[in-house]
Chains A and B, each alone.
Chain A
């Protein structure tokens, strides 16, 4: 009898131990209905000085809180309001069935009735003003200026830098396009659904006295329902250019995974993620891997024999740049990959990464546990699951070195908002080419990148995986400046859901 009782007792104890352990893990992973991202995770000062400890949200206007006179609200990090705009754009977002340029019908989201949305063009130094109205997107929308280092209030992240723009509402973005280059814009509200289904467009900032034309074309790649498109078209997409012309092809990857880009002949990589490459040399028999969210400007020359130059984006689509009616021979993907770590000629970084003020680790792994109450095997950052992830704290002017290590079993396109970082090394091999500035970096499984940046744009900035499904599943951290707080909250009345 006693033995039987002991058995029952042991069974109860073992059960309690299992249930309590799992219950506790589940309980602590649950998120309140509304929270500030600045209250999330654990501060990481990267070996630099700690601030007064006032990271965190404020219910009202942080700048006016007593005793926190130095705290700046994200809301106030804007361009000068009085300056008149050089470029004004009106956009209307809708959820609808629409027709791609290829003729295919898609159930998704549009801007001004189409997807990709309108190309926005500006000249370097222009103040761009974009007014967007949400006509019929039930979840609300925002616009994030991917790759443009805008003031924080214009970054367009729902629940971090603004509230989602609900149906019937509108919002105006204002920023100075300081750097010429190829960028794109997309919703950062329920982005894992809205971007995949079409709520995005391209943004090109020209150096003064240039515009998109015969020598400068766009190639926005996107998959709608598994069908790859270039500028909304399928298969071989012709672009007219005379023989002998050098053409800049601006490839924008709006997908959740990397794409491979190559040419039938030689090409040069003129720019990566909106930054010009110094000393680009001709690339032969190599393909370029373009990170999700990344951009690359390739230069091809239209052959003189009347045929077209082929810029292939994956096997299914290509831009054929040549005289009207011209064709180009099919080009299988070359066996070798172009390594940007050693491409181009060395140049000045403008700062010394060796004198870093802060050093951070961003180790991506994968482990079982609970995220927001859901059991599963989830992405981890520095061994912990969202929301228990690092909050990288910096001060304005800091030189920051970040080590991104991926041991998660899958590739991750890492995207830092509001800044560009320069690659210092990969797997311990120092960068030897042109300064490789990125805002979207393809980090393969098993790779370790060291990147450096200058913290020169105060705010609260997402630093996340641009495979937007991965972001939704918790692969999101933030870079936060000491003394900056946000009045916005994830969830709440605006139903902010940035991922």
Chain B
């Protein structure tokens, strides 16, 4: 079952710096939702608040009605997170790492073995299963990151810049995998690749200077021309309060 996400006036300040400014949005279950924006727009900050790694200064994010601020562990049980430039334990083999993450997620015994098998199969990691993560290519590391995020079959998948540094073939493959989650998982995809967001996502939110500059569905994007046009039109402009499509 996929998750519903509601962000209500989420703000985050680091001293005088406003990283997020009253961001509100809703993500429907089963949706692949893209987050785009220039550097420093607040995408990663929002992701970190959503995953419970950081606290919002104001506002709250709810996943299936559960507040991340007050009940983050229940939210984390529902989500799988593959961070930007995957943070993995290089001295572990792929198998050992997935086993560790599965145990951390509360899996054990036959369930764990089955979950690892499924993740490995889904991410095409069989050829490298026994190899140490530090010797894997970037593409495979991204897959390992995704594989660990999927172990416990989360209803929400948060993926941050999954295709950065990958070669075209790897990018195509990874996009295909992510697109395959539509309907079964809610996916929040944070990316710099505009065309990628346009290809995969059902809806895209454009963030600029911590605020929601625009939200558009795939159809609207096709109708309006391209996400690039929207980006150029909205980024750097005064931000209006309307956002959701």
Tell me, yes or no, whether A binds B: no
Seen from chain B, the residues whose Cβ lies within 8 Å of a Cβ on chain A are none
